[in-house]
Structure 1
Amino acid sequence: MSKVETFRRLHRSRPLGDPLVLPGPWDAASARVFAEAGFPALATPSAGVAASLGYEDGRTPADEMFAAVARIVRSVDVPVSADVEGGYGLPPKELVERLLETGAVGCNLEDSVDGVLKDPREQADWIAEVRSAAADRLFVNARIDTFAHGVTDPDRAIERAALYVAAGADCVYPIGAPPDVLPLLRAGIQGPVNVGAQVGKGPSPAELGARGATRVTFGPGLQRRAAQALEEIAGGLIA
């Protein structure tokens, strides 16, 4: 079985309370830690990778992001999905080719740019082009940024989800959705739902799964927690 098919199967028929938990490696070393801990797949966070490369979130050059993803993929045997933000302005065919060259099995695609939500129908058309170029070679996770940009009505997220799923998205990610609206989102969205969790606080992955999450990711939370731990260690060395 190919890695992308393995990745797809990990999303299917998951019972409530048992979501697919995907930690986010920011470099090869962190990827090995997560793989050796037993996680069956990984999903890179663009902000965490950006921090590891010395960039602000959203400012990583495409070539450096793809190179970082390739290093992560090479370092582990489990499937790796890559957060490639809004696609770096690349035509869908080129974006797919660049992703496949890294060895990634999937991608996370945002639907806002510089804090402004994209037109959902235009975004759906773009996702359809990515799906057409990728065929079954990539698992497409379509991010929905309404909650992150102050649009609190769950119906707006559900409407975008319907468009993106119809366009060929394998999963949708209503980033920033409050935990209490997850059952409503789960009821209104066809297919897997990605939910973000906070490291060490808030509902656990199992609790998020019980509310409707198919898979749980952490964004840059794990990278930031690791950086915090390193700061504490460094402070102790010069105290």
Structure 2
Amino acid sequence: MPLTTADKRAAFRKMHESGCFALPNPFDVGSAKALEHLGFKAIASTSAGFAWSIGKADNHVTVDDVCAHLTALCAAVDIPVNADFEGGFAREPDEVAANVARGVRTGVAGLSIEDSTGDKSNPLYDRALAIERIKAARAAIDSDNSGVMLVGRCEAFLWGQSDLKLVIDRLTAYADAGADCLYAPGIKTREEIVAVVKAVQPKPVNLLIGASGLSLNEAAELGVRRISVGGSLARMAWAGFMRAAREMAEKGTFAELAGGYPGGELNKMFE
């Protein structure tokens, strides 16, 4: 019997109580269903992977685009979906709250809000505003007792600000503001990871693998609770597509097509 949205949200919260789990990132309905078929217990959307799938650059999709995508993902699988909700598609806290409320209605079990502005000259929102944005997202999630997990993200490392003290200060502030899970994409070393885990405990930490070469077991030993891969699976899919398409365009040959995944197996998986 298919799980209800409430069931998925309760199961997702339970997954964060102990251990460490992989939270892979599909980029469309087909890849989401494939990950469920492979036995993953939860998935997370990827802003970059989704954007590329509709012919846009990362951070150039609209809240309408994303909400439609999340609705489709949640309807397609019987496992929890965590939303990469970028920066809430707004600057001001009240507008972030309105968009988060829309995101919650898609059926997601978790939703992340990041503190990057998209402006290279001033890449992070001022600390006070960033905290108010998390508080607004929390209030929006709680307004209907949805049970959706809120992930607070500090994007400093991705924007070249490798100041771990700044990251920890922000993550602890986001935890105090109501974030259920904390995430600092770009941290790599064991020392950085352990410092973040200790700073926000007992709240769980999400680690981006791709920026770190750790295995799931190694990350678990450091206290990480969940691991996501961002746009990496999408980039892997595009790598195969571009190799084959470029060979056809530049050489007029088709050898790369021999490496494709068997169509019969795909049909079986999607039956």
User: TM-score, structure 2 length as denominator?
Assistant: 0.81
Q: SS in structure 2 opposite 1:161?
A: helix
Within the alignment, does 1:204 sit opposite 2:207 as a pair?
A: no
Q: SS in structure 1 opposite 2:136?
A: helix
5+ residue gaps, structure 2, are 1-5, 254-271
Match of 1:32 in 2: 33
Q: Which amino acid aligns with 1:63?
A: D
Contact 2:111 2:150 in 1 (8 A): yes
Q: How many residues get paired?
A: 234
Match of 1:4 in 2: 9
Match of 2:115 in 1: 111
Match of 1:231 in 2: 242
1:11-36 CA distance string (max 9 Å, x none): 1122xxxx221010110000000011
Distance in structure 2 (CA, Å) of the matches to 1:112 and 1:236: 38
Distance in structure 1 (CA, Å) of the matches to 2:29 and 2:188: 32
Contact 2:124 2:155 in 1 (8 A): yes
Match of 2:77 in 1: 76
CA RMSD in angstroms, aligned pairs only: 1.8
Q: SS in structure 1 opposite 2:59?
A: coil
1:131 to 123, 135, 138: 138
Q: SS in structure 1 opposite 2:105?
A: helix
Q: SS in structure 1 opposite 2:153?
A: strand
Percent of aligned pairs with the same residue? 32
Match of 1:217 in 2: 228
1:62-109 CA distance string (max 9 Å, x none): 211111111111110101011111111172442232112211111111
User: TM-score, structure 1 length as denominator?
Assistant: 0.91
Distance in structure 1 (CA, Å) of the matches to 2:227 and 2:114: 17
Q: SS in structure 1 opposite 2:227?
A: strand
Distance in structure 2 (CA, Å) of the matches to 1:88 and 1:203: 32
Match of 1:187 in 2: 198
Q: Which amino acid aligns with 1:197?
A: I
2:181 to 168, 171, 190: 171
1:126-165 mapped onto 2 (5 Å cutoff): 126-135=133-142, 136-137=145-146, 138-165=148-175
Distance in structure 2 (CA, Å) of the matches to 1:2 and 1:177: 32
1:236 Cα deviation (Å)?
A: 6.1
1:211 Cα deviation (Å)?
A: 2.4
Match of 1:44 in 2: 45
- 82-91 or 19-28, larger mean C-alpha shift: 82-91
Distance in structure 1 (CA, Å) of the matches to 2:210 and 2:163: 22
Q: Which amino acid aligns with 1:10?
A: M
Q: SS in structure 1 opposite 2:230?
A: coil
Contact 2:88 2:100 in 1 (8 A): no
Q: Which amino acid aligns with 2:104?
A: L
5+ residue gaps, structure 1, are none
Contact 2:206 2:225 in 1 (8 A): yes
Contact 1:143 1:172 in 2 (8 A): yes
Distance in structure 1 (CA, Å) of the matches to 2:125 and 2:244: 42
Q: Which amino acid aligns with 1:196?
A: L
1:139-158 CA distance string (max 9 Å, x none): 11111112222222322111
